[in-house]
Structure 1
Amino acid sequence: MSKQIHIRLDDVVYDAITDYNKDNDISMHDTVSNAIMQFLTQKNLEDTPSDVLFRFIDLFAGIGGMRIAFDRAGGKCVYSNEWNKYSQQTYFANFGEQPEGDITKVDENSIPDHDVLVAGFPCQPFSIAGVAKKNSLGRATGFEDKTQGTLFFDICRILKAKRPKAFMLENVKNLKSHDKGRTFKVITESLEELDYEVFHAVLDGQNYVPQHRERILIIGFDRKRYGKDIDFHFDLTPVKPKPIIKDILEPKVDDKYTLSDKLWSYLQNYAAKHRAAGNGFGYGIADPNGVSRTLSARYYKDGSEILIEQKGKNPRRLTPRECARLQGFPDDFVIPVSDTQAYKQFGNSVVVPLMADVAQLVVKKMKELDDRNND
């Protein structure tokens, strides 16, 4: 839902904006809308209280799951970056800030000072060949050689320029095994070359929400500030009692979420075909007293990985609000986009209470290290 406004511009201003639009191939609507949101974002950032525990930045921010986690730990977000326009829309609706776009074009020195860098970065292939060649020639390689051309490189250059006290990175579990472990080796070596003590663990969200969702978290603390004598453990505090699927279900759901006869028949036939071939592919009916499969960004296509059984009806997919709950987002989290975009956004997001638990541990360790330095 949107509203219209009418504004008057002096001719010289209108001509300048028109030229800008032509040069950047964008519409007048987008230019004016972005300018207003940037103004509101700046106003929100200027309202930062002086007594916040720490400041953090939110990179590859998505819809702000990691931000909520660090907000709860007592921090203040001073910068966010997310390129997807629909995710930007959801982010703005909930935090009053428009994340900056394309991180590859951002000057790292322009980013505000911060204590913690937070990023749910995409996993991209790394070129190992160039590194191997340099090694064979006896030449030193650093993160710039190893990671140039990947979005992980942008994290590294920001860490190098701003040197936050700590960072927390999130990615899919398979990052550790990607390219026979070489990708993960490049990542950890690059972070260590930047003089950070690095810790990592694969964690499952099912102790916080009723969803089996494994993700890798990579934590780092600045050796230049704290030295090498740093110890960190993922001592988590799971939710009790353990959440189950029926905890997140809405009492009344629109019939549009019920699978059509055609789609339900297709999914059943597809599953039968793969069962006959000895494969495990197929739809998943969620146990109301158990946990679901992993919610993915493809959920909008047919909802097959997590279906809810209904008496006298075909199964249904989860509603966007139920997907939000499955990821641990609070019920007052605003969903301003279409169902299709919402499914993509929540499927790409994080388990908020798990991230909040780890964020508390990072902040606690940071305070311990700061206190040790001040002794």
Structure 2
Amino acid sequence: MNEKTFYEFFAGGGMARLGLGSQWHCLFANDFDRTKAAAYRENWGHEHFRDDDINDLSPSDLSGCADLAWASFPCQDLSLAGNALGLGTATDQTRSGAFWAFWSLMEGLAKEKRGPKTIVLENVYGALTANQGQDFSVICRCLSLAGYRFGAVILDAVEFLPQSRPRMFLVAVRGDIQISERLLAYGPVGALHPKAMVTAMARLAEVDQARWVWWKVPSASAKRSSLMELLEPDHVVSWHDDATSSKLINMMSALNRQKLQRMVASGQRSVGTIYKRTRVEGGHRVQRAELRDDGVAGCLRTPGGGSSRQFVIVVDKSVIRTRLLTAREAARLMGLPDTYRLPSRYNEAYHLAGDGLAVPVVAHLAQHVIGPILDESLAVSSLAA
């Protein structure tokens, strides 16, 4: 298999790079967050990495002609946890509006006849509906005008890891690259293309709909690890005292207390996770501890406040203990190996994981969509030569 090349924008700690694997060669990567940049360099070295703001980059900073441009642009304005401001415009950007700076680079490369063969834009599920769906339509219009064919899929990390983390992957292919029929579905397929995506596609202008494709992505074949398998040994972690654990339990609603009682009644060691959430009950805002007892962690978030940190709850017969999810456990929930070097500070390490990509999902998409497109393109070029 020939080595493929890529640019990695908004790279974080390099999780797209890790997912793509050793058959891919990085030509350029960037992130302006100093902590993430330090982690990237610590794990991948300095070569090809720039910690500049993407708005300060130009096509001349990007070497070669990449097979893939990967961009996980900021999601704060597109997620339900954000403020739903959307992309903004090219001159009045929100944080997610950094897309415009990325797209300016793509347009510059195209003018130099260096446009990437494929582009992947990764974001939260809410990217489909943000700003009444207008943001998604604008992104698709950009791809369409640049001559790309494109389509989106929703892939959930829960297929590969014990973490619920649905994400949108918009995969675009340059117009001169042939797409094999075996990679395409005849229409929307189940969880890959949920109702929100079908609606988002229907909102597109007819000229953009004509460039839309429905990607076919198989389900995960390997059995995922369990949450219990990813936890660190009891003796190396810091447990809450009884008063703190009791406080968390007392914050549970009746429904969540029932879940806890079922864990106790099982008589076996069982593991769950807890998030603190603010809910409106009887017209009042109440902070609740919400328990997940299905062996799957909730979606990791960045630790902007206490409520965004996830807790572990372990029930061993009648003994109930709680603690914070460790940074290494958060990394494992993203598919990072234990050899991956995390920032030394808890919040920074947790933020790196919570704001990153699930590595096995990237690997799956590369194996079943991006890689085959590029391999077949190379085969066609070789035959033509």
TM-score range, shorter chain: 0.7 to 0.9
Q: Measure, in 1, the Cα distance between the counterparts of 2:309 and 2:327.
A: 15
Q: How many angstroms does 1:249 deviate by? A: 0.9
Map Cα deviations across residues 273-327 of structure 1 (whole Å, 9 max, x no partner): 948549997334443x621211111377356544232554541121111111111
Provide the rounded CA distance (Å) in 2 between the counterparts of 1:236 and 1:116.
Answer: 21
Question: CA offset at residue 105 of structure 1?
Answer: 0.4
Q: Write the distance in 2 (CA, Å) between the matches of 1:338 and 1:300.
A: 16
Separation in 2, partners of 1:89, 1:102: 15
8 A contact 1:172–1:215 mirrored in 2: yes
Give the structure-2-normalised TM-score. Answer: 0.71
Structure 1: any 5+ residue segments left out of the alignment? 1-50, 129-143
Structure number with higher helix proportion: 1
1:219 paired to 2:171: yes
Identical pairs, percent: 22
Q: Does residue 56 of structure 2 align to residue 105 of structure 1?
A: yes
Cα 1:358–1:236 change in 2 (3 A) is same
User: How big is the shift at 1:227?
Assistant: 5.9
Determine if contact 1:286/1:308 at 8 Å carries over to the other structure: no
Match of 2:347 in 1: 340
Structure 1 pair 55/274, CA: closer, same or farther in 2 (3 Å)? closer
Aligned length: 307
Is 2:178 aligned against 1:170?
A: no
Alignment counterpart, residue 194 of structure 1, candidates 143, 146, 151? 146
Pair 1:309-2:309 in alignment: no
How far apart in 2 are the matches of 1:325 and 1:246?
12
2:201 matched residue in structure 1 = none
- For each residue in 1:10-55, what CA deviation from the matched residue of structure 2 results, as whole angstroms up to 9, or x when unmatched? xxxxxxxxxxxxxxxxxxxxxxxxxxxxxxxxxxxxxxxxx96111
- 1:154 maps to 101
1:186–1:268 CA distance, 2 compared to 1 (3 A) = farther
Question: 1:90 touches 1:334 (CA, 8 Å); kept in 2?
Answer: yes
Higher mean displacement: 301-310 or 328-337: 301-310
Q: State the partner residue of 1:126.
A: 87
* Native 8 Å contact 1:82 1:101 kept in 2: yes
Deviation at 1:155, TM superposition (A): 2.0
Question: Does the 8 A contact of 2:67 with 2:374 survive in 1?
Answer: no
Letter paired with 2:303:
R
Give distance in 2, aligned partners of 1:147 and 1:222.
26
Do residues 283 (structure 1) and 289 (structure 2) align? yes
One-letter identity of the residue aligned with 1:152: F
Residue ranges of structure 2 left out of the alignment (5+ in a row): 78-85, 185-214, 255-277
Letter in 2 for 1:84: D
Deviation at 1:253, TM superposition (A): 4.8
Mark the CA change 1:319 to 1:93 in structure 2 (over 3 Å): closer, same or farther. same
Q: Are the structure 2 counterparts of residues 304 and 267 from structure 1 closer, same or farther at C-alpha, using a change threshold of 3 Å?
A: farther
RMSD over aligned CA atoms reads 3.1
Give the Å deviation of 1:89: 1.2
Distance between the aligned counterparts of 1:302 and 1:275, measured in 2?
15
Letter in 2 for 1:295: L
Does the 8 A contact of 1:210 with 1:290 survive in 2? Answer: yes
Asked if the contact 1:83/1:100 (under 8 Å) is kept, the reply is: yes
1:282 match: secondary structure: strand
Once the two structures are superposed, what CA deviation does each residue of 1:101-144 show, in whole Å capped at 9, x if it has no partner? 2110011222112211111111452347xxxxxxxxxxxxxxx6
Matched, 1:371 2:379: yes
Deviations 1:167-201 (A, max 9, x none): 11110110001011111110111111111111111
Give the Å deviation of 1:156: 1.4
The equivalent residue for 1:76 is: 25
> Which residue of 34, 38, 42 corresponds with 1:93?
42
Secondary structure of the residue aligned to 1:316 is strand
Q: Is the 8 A contact 2:71 2:121 kept in 1?
A: yes
Mapped contact 1:59–1:80 kept (Cα < 8 A): yes
Contact 1:52/1:76, CA 8 A, preserved across alignment: no
State the alpha-carbon separation in 1 of the partners of residues 355 and 125 from structure 2.
13
Do structure 1's residue 62 and structure 2's residue 12 form an aligned pair? yes
2:158 corresponds to which of 206, 221, 224: 206
Which residue number in structure 1 is paired with residue 338 of structure 2? 331
Displacement of 1:158 in angstroms is 2.1
The 3-state SS of whatever aligns with 1:171 is: strand
The code of the aligned residue for 1:176 comes to: L
Amino acid at match of 2:370: V
Aligned mate of 1:362, from 354, 361, 370: 370
Distance 1:373 1:285, change over 3 A: same
Q: CA deviation at 1:237?
A: 4.4
Task: Work out the CA distance in 1 between the residues paired with 2:305 and 2:349.
Answer: 8
